[in-house]
Amino acid sequence: MEQKIYVGAAYYPEMWEESEVEKDIVRMKEAGVNCVRVGEFAWGKMEPEEGVFDLGWLERAVEKLTAAGIGVIMCTPTCTPPRWLLDKYPETRIVYADRTRTEVFSRCHPCKSSPIMREKNRIITQKLAETFGKKEGVIGWQIDNEIFPYNEGCYCENCQRKFRSYLKEKYGTPEKLNEAWGMQRWSLEYKSFDDVVPPVKGRWEHPSLQTEWTRFHCENIVSYVNEQADILHRYTSAPVGTDMMTTNLLGYYQLNEKLDVVQLNHYEPCRDMPKTAFPYDFVRPVLKHPFWVTETQVGWNGSTFANCGYRPEGCCYINTWLPVAKGAEMVEYWLFRAHPNGHELAHGALYNTAGRAYRVTEEVARAAREFARCAPFLCNSRVEAKIALHYSSTVVKEAEYAPMLQNFDYRAMLVDRFHKPLRRHNVDVIDTAHPLDGYEVLISPFLFTADENDLPARVTQWVKEGGTWIVGPMTDIMTEYASKYRDKPHSFLEELAGVYERYDLPVGNDVYRAKWEDGGEFALDTCFAAYELKGAKALAVYANGEFKGMPAVTEFAVGKGKVIVLGGVPTEEALLRLVGRAPVFPASENLALVERSGARNGVIAVETEGREGTVTLDGAYRDLLTGRTLSGCVGVAPYSVLVLERS
């Protein structure tokens, strides 16, 4: 791929007469679009009858796009098998928890375990790979679409058999499963793996069963994706990925292990624009290749009616710039031209059904022009972080089925209370499998399961070598199958942190305060733990309530580093004090600051809240968008960007 930033959209040539492709290419040029995704829902036109393939229409579209200098992301259409396939082979359709098989009505019908579905996937993927794998204009591949364990997974007999085989392979015997899950409670012991019945959403099910059922379906999806990736890799050297949301229920690290590029879809309303920095910081560290935003909304989301919030002037421009500032190589909108019919009739687009631009189209075009101007800087610098924040796929599952706190939202807690305070720092959001090398500070709140991926040994060694681990609250309290430890509240944290957890209070009160050793106070909320010191020192003690005077925040030296334990969720100011690192630059809270380093060095400032901001620079910087040299305290207009290269 060239050294440039790609701006594009999902494009559906199957929806239009072929003569419209040339007209749409003109529109693409007007909007600054230099890449499009095609094919993801077009299986019915690719294979109108079983074994009868017609890819000529798609080849002609790709040739026209390539001739115009527009790169193509080719998608496998396995999200939407044609009706003839689903009707002829009904076993390819998912079965719901009530044991009814889905009708053919929208998309995401396929069962991921079905041997017939897998075979048909391989055939259509092979045809696409043979036809487009070596074409110069095809710059990347997308497998399926927003793959996910929908509807709590499939309950067909095949999936149930595979689930029981999965449990047998993992636990060996029913007795070991019963012991791990604690099934003697309420006399729930299994005598055989054949006794295991998948959980049903809405029933008061066992959390260990629910967690493993979801984990099984996630592993099945990984196999489903890898099967297509193996075929594509035989025919193309272009990057292969699969687009998905950052719920992390389906673990990003596991799913992308055999893929080449991380692809992200997100649809945040404008009021939540600052929160979109979190998924960018999460997907960036997963693979070395710069990530792609494969879907986001242009002006509004929608199905048969518009929703998800209109973007005021400037917001779409920022939505295009922020991922690139954070390290993206590509930003694609859904979609290029609004559909004339169907389930998403009212969804926003770059162009309406009649081919006329929306107001926000110019904002995308403006960003595209600026990317071209800044390409040497953007393509020759990278985002390097010294701070990492844990976001665990295992905990996402556990927090769904055993959250421990009423109305607890694990992701929202990380975003609002731990990531947002660090918006003026470079931060990597990582899962527990990610290496710790190069980080100076690691923050692990609500990491229910910390005893996985050899994390205890790795984090201990990392701390000994000089790292600062800010850990808790409610970290290291569960096994990977949502059971608590029997002999102590944590698997290893107390020993490493030099503390003894005397009391815990897992309730969402917000009335407690803590007092620093120097006398200042700050609030703690959400949940609480009080400690006895076993070598650690108290950085703060409870200032009121039943734990008054007991340690609330502790610190323990381990080798060259230290472990800081949080007894509750601190305020932003308190968290930043514990992190102990200066931001990229002093700046108002409405700015996201991203330091870029490498062959080119500088900082990108993005105003995300639609109001005036300021940033104070440490020297002279050239703004690549205006050519001005800036220094000192600089104003940042609402929904604007500064691309500052060090002079």
Q: Is the pLDDT of residue 309 over 70?
A: no
Alpha-carbon torsion (81, 86, 92, 93), positive or negative: positive
Across the range 446-467, mean pLDDT stands at 98
- Average pLDDT of the chain is 96
pLDDT for the residue 516: 98
If residue 231 lies in a helix (H) or strand (E), which one and from where to where? helix 207-235
**Mind listing the pLDDT tens digit for each residue in 143-171?**
999 999 988 899 999 999 999 999 999 99
Angstrom distance (rounded) from CA 603 to CA 74: 34
Parts of the chain belonging to CATH 2.60.40.1180:
591-646
**Mind listing the pLDDT tens digit for each residue in 491-538?**
999 999 999 999 999 877 778 999 999 999 999 999 889 999 999 999
Place of tokens 């209109």: 310
pLDDT for the residue 169: 98
Angstrom distance (rounded) from CA 388 to CA 358: 39
**Mind listing the pLDDT tens digit for each residue in 60-88?**
999 999 999 999 999 999 999 999 999 99
pLDDT for the residue 307: 82
CA distances from 73 to 35, 241, 265, 294, 468 (A): 7, 10, 15, 10, 42
pLDDT for the residue 377: 98
Across the range 536-556, mean pLDDT stands at 97
Across the range 380-406, mean pLDDT stands at 97
Contact 220, 255 (CB under 8 A): no
- Return the percentage of the chain with pLDDT > 70, whole number: 100
Across the range 482-486, mean pLDDT stands at 94
Max CA separation in the chain (angstroms): 77
Strand-pairing partners, residue 645, are 602, 622
> Confidence class of residue 620 from pLDDT cuts 50, 70 and 90?
very high
Across the range 412-430, mean pLDDT stands at 97
Could you please state the CATH topology (level 3) that the domain comprising 591-646 is classified under.
Immunoglobulin-like (2.60.40)
pLDDT for the residue 507: 78
Across the range 532-557, mean pLDDT stands at 97
Give the global pTM: 0.97
> Confidence class of residue 550 from pLDDT cuts 50, 70 and 90?
very high
pLDDT for the residue 26: 98
Angstrom distance (rounded) from CA 305 to CA 575: 42
Angle ∠(94,97,100) on CA atoms, nearest 5: 60
DSSP calls for 171-229: HSSHHHHHHHHTTTGGG---SSGGG-----TTS---HHHHHHHHHHHHHHHHHHHHHHH
CA distances from 357 to 32, 334, 352, 403 (A): 12, 14, 6, 46
Q: Is the pLDDT of residue 292 over 70?
A: yes
Across the range 438-444, mean pLDDT stands at 98
pLDDT for the residue 417: 97
**Mind listing the pLDDT tens digit for each residue in 334-383?**
999 999 999 999 999 999 999 999 999 999 999 999 999 999 999 999 99
Across the range 396-406, mean pLDDT stands at 95
pLDDT for the residue 357: 97
> Confidence class of residue 181 from pLDDT cuts 50, 70 and 90?
very high
Beta strands in 65-118 (DSSP E): 71-75
Parts of the chain belonging to CATH 3.40.50.880:
387-579
Q: 387-579 — its CATH code?
A: 3.40.50.880
pLDDT for the residue 534: 98
Q: Is the pLDDT of residue 630 over 90?
A: yes
One-letter amino acid of 231: I
Q: 261-379 — its CATH code?
A: 3.20.20.80
pLDDT for the residue 367: 98
Parts of the chain belonging to CATH 3.20.20.80:
261-379
